[in-house]
Amino acid sequence: MLVGGEGHRVGQEEDTIGRYAALERFMVEHFSVGETMFRWSTQDNRSVDRLPYIGRAGAEGSLYVATGFAGWGMTNGTVAALMISDALQDKVSPWSSLYSLDRQHLAASAKRFVTENTNVAAEELKGAFGSGAVKSVEEIAPGQGTIVSVNGSDHAVSRD
């Protein structure tokens, strides 16, 4: 059984263990299950208009792109496979314009674009000023990870 949820912005959750615990509580309360065997987190890319980008990169290139699935990789991955398969056979997919790499919905997505990029800028500033970083690895709790500055160089560190 796969149980998902507890979404949050990348790098902006202090209590990862608490998120996993909430999922386990839900699982135990609603299903007859055994032990939790694996846990993982994903970084789901989202486009500003919330549709994936799928198609050929460049007019004559042999590189195809499929990204921005926003947590819907099983279904959007299938759509991407169908579309890319069509493109490789010189067929036009009925969904080509919807998922086009060239689409631009600036008016519809401007507010979300500004909101998300303001958040990114704020997080970058926090990182530049060391906000949230620990001073030593001893401060990292088991099951947690963070950025540690060692001799002026940042390193991603976790404690198992």
pLDDT in the model for residue 84: 95
For the entire predicted model, the pTM comes to: 0.57
Give pLDDT tens digits for 30-55. 999 988 998 887 777 888 888 999 99
The answer to whether residue 108 scores a pLDDT higher than 70 is: no
| 142 to 3, 43, 59, 137, 160: CA distances (angstroms) | 23, 22, 50, 11, 5
